[in-house]
């Protein structure tokens, strides 16, 4: 099963992105293009995405994945690895309610020394409802997501606050603060240690609910009207309910991507 789990961990974000994009995706406007009145807009590309082998682990991996900030008719969207569809929006499109999905990456025992002998935690797709709004200062998204695969049977609340830093014909760079409150079921599935997994170096651990804080910087540089360099990075500070787990090697979790995209 480790090989299959590795495939699910690397391909789940790709499949989520591509399947919903093919269905006709729509998200917050791309970091570098103007939303049109109809049809596709945004930037669709691919590149290298670097992230830990498991959340809280020191070992990292770099994987070739799609990178998408695309929009179709102010209805369907893909915003990096969150995809969804609006079920209601205001007349001026400044507010909306959408149904959205995003993946959560699991792990297996070979992903780090502190996981040796542990049962695999499966990757899963989380789905929920988001309220999105924007004004002259930036945009926000407030959502509630639950585990559609029932692996953890958990859920989380997520708040995103985004503000543009630079926006012109060449550059579009913004910063985002994300606050996510994961419940105890979700945390215990991914960070807990069961009685059968206890060792001399890994005590029994039941994870509590936790609030994670993430700082994002994302953007793109439009090399031409058609092609753009897409980039982004974030750092997540795990809440104590997760960070105190004996399997966590570092509390601050990095994420980075760099790729080439085509403006639609």
10 compared with 127, residue with greater pLDDT: 127
Domains and CATH numbers, the chain: 2-263 (2.40.230)
pLDDT at 44: 98
In this structure, the strands spanning 155-167 and 210-222 are unpaired
Structure-model confidence comparison of residues 117 and 17, the more confident one: 117
Instruction: Report the alpha-carbon angle 260-263-264, nearest 5.
Output: 135
pLDDT exceeds 90 at position 30? no
Torsion of CA 89, 93, 98, 100, to 10 degrees: 170
- pLDDT classification of 14: cutoffs 50, 70, 90: very low
* 259 confidence band (pLDDT: 50, 70, 90): very high
Q: What is the pLDDT of residues 184-214, one digit of tens each?
A: 999 999 999 999 999 999 999 999 999 999 9
Strand partners, 52: 60
pLDDT at 49: 98
Helix (H) or strand (E) holding 20: helix 2-24
Residue 164, token pair as written in the block: 């543009």
Summarize pLDDT for 208-256 with one digit per residue, the tens: 999 999 999 999 999 999 999 999 999 999 999 999 999 999 999 999 9
Q: Which two tokens stand for residue 256?
A: 């980075």
In sequence order, what are the beta bridge partners of 104?
124
The full length of the chain comes to 264
Q: What mean pLDDT is reported for the chain?
A: 89
pLDDT over 50 (residue 13): no
pLDDT at 27 over 90: no
Answering whether pTM is above 0.95, one says no
Q: Which residue has 């403006």 as its token pair?
A: 263
pLDDT of res. 74: 92
pLDDT on residue 43? 97
**What integer is the mean pLDDT of 29-47?**
71
């Amino acid at each position: 099963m480790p090989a299959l789990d590795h495939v699910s961990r690397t391909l789940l974000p790709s499949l989520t992105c591509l399947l919903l994009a093919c269905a006709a995706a729509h998200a917050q406007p791309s970091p570098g293009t103007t939303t049109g009145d109809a049809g596709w807009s945004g930037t669709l590309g691919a590149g290298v995405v670097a992230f830990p082998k498991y959340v809280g682990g020191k070992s990292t991996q770099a994987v070739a994945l799609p990178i998408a900030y695309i929009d179709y008719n102010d209805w369907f969207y893909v915003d990096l690895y969150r995809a969804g569809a609006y079920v209601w929006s205001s007349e001026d499109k400044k507010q909306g309610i959408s149904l959205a999905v995003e993946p959560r990456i699991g792990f297996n025992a070979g992903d780090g020394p502190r996981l040796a002998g542990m049962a695999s935690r499966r990757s899963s797709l989380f789905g929920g409802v988001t309220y999105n709004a924007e004004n002259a200062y930036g945009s926000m998204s407030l959502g509630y997501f639950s585990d559609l695969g029932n692996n953890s049977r958990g859920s989380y609340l997520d708040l995103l606050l985004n503000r543009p830093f630079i926006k012109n014909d060449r550059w579009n760079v913004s910063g985002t603060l994300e606050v996510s409150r994961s419940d105890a079921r979700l945390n215990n599935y991914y960070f807990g240690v069961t009685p059968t997994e206890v060792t001399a170096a890994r005590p029994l651990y039941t994870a509590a609910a936790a609030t994670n804080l993430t700082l994002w910087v994302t953007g793109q540089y439009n090399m031409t009207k058609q092609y753009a360099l897409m980039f982004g990075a974030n750092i997540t500070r795990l809440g104590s309910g997760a960070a105190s787990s004996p399997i966590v090697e570092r509390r601050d979790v990095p994420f980075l991507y760099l790729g080439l995209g085509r403006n639609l």
